[in-house]
Structure 1
Amino acid sequence: MSTSASNTGKYSGDLVLFMAIAFVVSWALWGVAIAMGGPAVNPAATLPHLVGAFGPAIAALVIRIRRGRRGEPVPEHAVRSRFKTLGWVPVLMVLASATVLSGGLLAGVSGSAPMPSVDTAMAVLTAQSPVMFLAMMVISGPLAEEPGWRGTAYPRMRASMSRLQIGLVLGTIWAVWHLPLFFIAGTVQSQLGLATPSGVLFAVSSIPMAMLCCCAYERAGVVASVAVHFAVNLTMVLTNVQAPVTLALIMGIQAIVVAILLATGKDKAASGAPAATSDEPKVAENA
């Protein structure tokens, strides 16, 4: 039996269980939100809408407890967030935000979409408490998802797949997982509409976005992937990105950035780096 086949079998149970829990928890709660009319119609729908986003985090917790009870080691390709690598976090945040701003500026210069405006950003921030707004931007997406998609699924998939393959597969799964949000009134996705160019591009953009978060994870662990996820989401909301041309440009720019990061980053599979052990210093443990 090849090493690749052995690794696939080793983590296939974890991956199937993780995906099942993530989808069942999220889709069940989002189904409740849809049935209630969504936050825009019924404020009570905000709770199932918000909690549903934690499906991947809940699944990650289950997998970690399962691993602990079985006495299994942390996957070889799990990346811890260490103090010596956290310097990557602000750099990656700026880079992630720049992919959105660049797309918006290019679309604005070409006349294909409105130019990003400071007034638009200020209107979003002043529409509610800035502190609450930023807290929700961190909690509802990045913190709810990254411990699962990147912190748990990624290192197990990395045991038998290349970084590019994982980006494509995990990005596609991520896009499908988001689909119920298009039917919850009050979400960004529902405003775009699933059967529109913007809606389709938004869904497809999960692939380069997943790759970007994976590259961040490989450099500084879950803290970095959370930061990148937050930076992209925040910039898109503040600049009110909706035009198809803008979304397409952002995807293209992110794809170029990912290609550069993949070409310049250290391939941990090729490096033969040993699995992390429990006595190593860490900021956040995952997988």
Structure 2
Amino acid sequence: MARRRTTRSTRSGKGTGWLGPTLLFLAVAFPAAGLLGALQPLTGLPDEVLQLTQFGPALGVAAVALFRPSLVRGLLAGGGARGPRGVLLLSAPAITALAVAGTFLLHGRVPIHDPGSLAAPFGVVAAAQLLGACGEEIGWRCLLQPLLRTRFGPLGSSAAVGLIWGCWHVQVFTRAPAYAAGFLAAAVAMSVLLGLAWEQVGAHRLLLAGGFHTLVNLGMLLFLDEESGAVEPMVLFGVAGVLVALPWVLAGRRPARTDRLATT
């Protein structure tokens, strides 16, 4: 009986020691990102190519690994790959496409950033964006999300990570309130999408999350003008993120309803 009680406690997330690693991760990821951002101008590296702040979460993971190496190994390992990886990656350009469609409907044109005008060749930018995205996602989606999942479940943990991830981008709060709201909506929506996808996709999480993140960043870089501080592109981006995440939420709720009906 005692053994069964321990198993139920572990599955429900009670007593799994999530709080300490979470606080340590956040205590390192936030200030480390700020420090790396302060060092960026000294490197001469254009923000358009790579932002050093993106490696703050990776340093947070390293800090947790110093004290809980087995926990970090287990969280990063994930499970067996068995789900719709292609659908997950296609969701990223779908977000950009919806935001672009909204821009076209409002103005009859779409601002396109010529890839040839970037600070580096497009292939270099894409590779650097993937590297930076993985620097973020190893913390947000590969460590923090599965860590919080043990306590708050798939949807709650994904929404919480999305809100933390959005607030980590502190620079958005220097913009107009609607701009910040649009970004936070997109951050939470994309986090929920990725978190629910993890229920079906086990292995290769870092590459999948990094690839998704990279595709979103490249889409914003080429087709949206949100970096200028314009509110409308960011609001459209937030709405698009919510619309693309919604089918994943509905699909994630369907098995739960089926299970309840089967038990009645």
Structure 1 residue 235: Cα displacement: 0.7
In the superposition, the TM-score normalised over structure 2's length comes to 0.75
Q: Distance in 2 between matches of 1:151 and 1:268?
A: 24
Which whole-Å deviations, capped at 9, do the CAs of 1:176-201 have from their partners, x for residues lacking one? 2111xx3xxxxxx6xx9523643552
Question: Which is further off, 95-104 or 244-253?
Answer: 244-253
- Look up the match of 2:208: 224
Give deviations 1:83-118, integer Å, cap 9, x for gaps: x44xx333222222111211211231132xx6335x
Q: Which residue among 104, 108, 129 is the counterpart of 1:137?
A: 129
1:205 partner amino acid: A
Deviations 1:54-111 (A, max 9, x none): 111122233234333x689825x973463x44xx333222222111211211231132
Matched, 1:152 2:143: yes
Identity of aligned residues (%): 20
Output aligned runs, 1:84-95, within 5 Å: 84-85=82-83, 88-95=84-91
Aligned length: 241
Q: SS where residue 205 of structure 1 aligns?
A: helix
Q: Which runs of 5+ in 2 are unaligned?
A: 258-264
Letter aligned with residue 18 of structure 1: F
Contact 1:217 1:225 survives alignment (8 Å): no
Q: TM-score, normalised by structure 1?
A: 0.69
**Compared CA separation, residues 175 and 160, structure 1 to 2 (3 A):** same
Would you say 1:167 and 2:174 are equivalent positions? Answer: no
Report whether the alignment pairs 1:116 with 2:110: yes
- Judged with a 3 Å threshold, the aligned counterparts in structure 2 of structure 1 residues 6 and 235 are, in CA distance, closer, same or farther, namely closer
- Quick check: 2:183–2:238 contact (8 Å CA) kept in 1? no
Name the counterpart of 2:262: none
Relative to structure 1, is the Cα distance of residues 144 and 267 closer, same or farther in structure 2, using a 3 angstrom cutoff? farther
| Aligned counterparts of 1:71 and 1:162: Cα–Cα separation in 2 | 18
Give 2:169's match in structure 1, choosing from 178, 181, 184.
178
Structure 1: which 5+ runs fail to align? 183-188, 271-287
Matches of 1:234 and 1:215 in 2, distance apart? 23
Shift in Å at residue 268 of structure 1? 10
Cα distance between partner residues in 1 of 2:57 and 2:141: 10
- The corresponding residue for 2:250 is 263
Measured on the aligned residues, the alpha-carbon RMSD in Å equals 3.5
Distance of 1:204 and 1:240 partners within structure 2: 16
